[in-house]
Amino acid sequence: MTEAGGAAELPVAIIGYGFMGRAHAMAWHRTVEATQLKVRPRIAVICGRNGDAAAAAAEQLGIPEISTDWKVVIARPDVQVVDICTPGSSHAEIAIAALQAGKHVLCEKPLANTLAEAERMAAAANDASARGVRSMVGFNYRRVPALIAARRLVEQGRIGQLRHVRATYLQDWLINPAFPLTWRLAAAEAGSGALGDLGAHIIDLAQFLSGDQIVSVLGRTKTFVAERPVPQHASGLSGSAAEGGPTGQVDVDDAVTFLAEFSKGAIATFEATRMATGHKNGLRIELNGELGSIRFDLERLNELEFHETAAQPAGFARVLVTEPTDPYMDLWWPPGHVIGWEHTFVHEVIDLCNAIASGTDPEPSFADGLSVQAVLDCVAESARSGRWEPALAPTS
């Protein structure tokens, strides 16, 4: 790390300038505002295949340089962190090359498009860790203060032995059949549809909150709109479709549901869809134990619902997770002042910076990402076979 004004500077390269690239860029910018760190992150460059689009993103986000070649970026001696915000098809190649070049890596979820890619990435991360190179997968919902509070309640035994998990992630942005055939609807780029895009989040949260692993699944996937208009970028309709123009096949799922069993005996139901009319970003998760239950709704991000049978037999109590003693809240505002979705990314990069500064491996690790990838892979296999499938990640 280089020195800047007495503090160690950590130059960052963001690979990808779309939705996630913007979210991550805002987080890196706000990290220094939110807390005192032993390192001072600075976005050095943003990279993407389209030079004009990268330049527009750089101007909007206040980033001084652009590149259209990620290989050039990771070869730069001044770049110390590579933040991968590209479609899943390129995660493995970029992450492995960056780790081998000695760069710390933050990679968006899901970790990869296939289990084999995720295995290679986890192995590369393990090798890099021995050389002091850190890596983390971007499951940002682990950084919601209310969800960390929920995990602590589970760890304290407040709900007792876990029996049920219910997790849903519902969106509706694909309900219009005229929505264009973007990369998220192509298996070659995204790997899967709602399964990887949304399902990865709730799988990770279920395992994170429970402290347990999913060991078997029974899944179903469904594609409701099998053909969509092809975007006509050449006519200036970037991301849009020309009326009456060509169409292409959707080869990923629009929706997935699956049953699961955990290693300690709890059972679970999962649903992820981008076709649930009226739902914009509806992530909900509930854990039922022998002594109590916990509920969380992302659209009420600062709240947790908690039922403890011995203390409140009538039902759930609403807990506002905004006290300075609550996770991350001492970084922000006085008690009762809520934070937003974007803060989860700020917390994510703060944790990565602190891990780099202290020489420790951050979480969620690439091994955690591999664990989620194993479940994704087995849900897809179960949807094909119609059978329960084992879902434990391979071990070396």
Q: Encoding tokens for residue 71?
A: 């290989």
Q: What is the pLDDT of residue 245?
A: 81
Range list of β-strands (E), 2-63: 2-4, 7-15, 39-47
| DSSP-derived secondary structure letter, 392 | P
Q: Encoding tokens for residue 219?
A: 């899944």
- Alpha-carbon distance values, 138 to 231, 294, 348, 384 (Å): 29, 24, 7, 28
Domain ranges for the chain: 2-140, 145-300+302-339
Judge whether 348 and 126 are in contact, CB under 8 Å: no
Dihedral sign of CA atoms 129, 132, 137, 143 in order = positive
Q: What is the pLDDT of residue 235?
A: 36
Bond prior to 390 in cis (omega within 30° of 0): no
- Alpha-carbon distance values, 355 to 101, 104, 111, 381 (Å): 19, 10, 19, 36
3-state SS class at 281: coil
H/E run at residue 218: strand 214-222
Ranges under pLDDT 50 in the chain = 4, 234-239
Q: What is the pLDDT of residue 228?
A: 97
CATH of domain 145-300+302-339: 3.30.360.10
Q: What is the pLDDT of residues 293-322, one digit of tens each?
A: 999 999 999 999 999 999 887 899 999 999
Q: What is the pLDDT of residue 10?
A: 96
Strands 292-297 and 282-289: antiparallel
Architecture of domain 2-140: 3-Layer(aba) Sandwich (3.40)
Q: Encoding tokens for residue 287?
A: 């854990």
Q: What is the pLDDT of residues 76-130, one digit of tens each?
A: 999 999 999 999 999 999 999 999 999 999 999 999 999 999 999 999 999 999 9
Q: What is the pLDDT of residue 38?
A: 82
Q: What is the pLDDT of residue 3?
A: 55
Strands 7-15 and 81-84: parallel
How many residues in total does the chain contain? Answer: 396
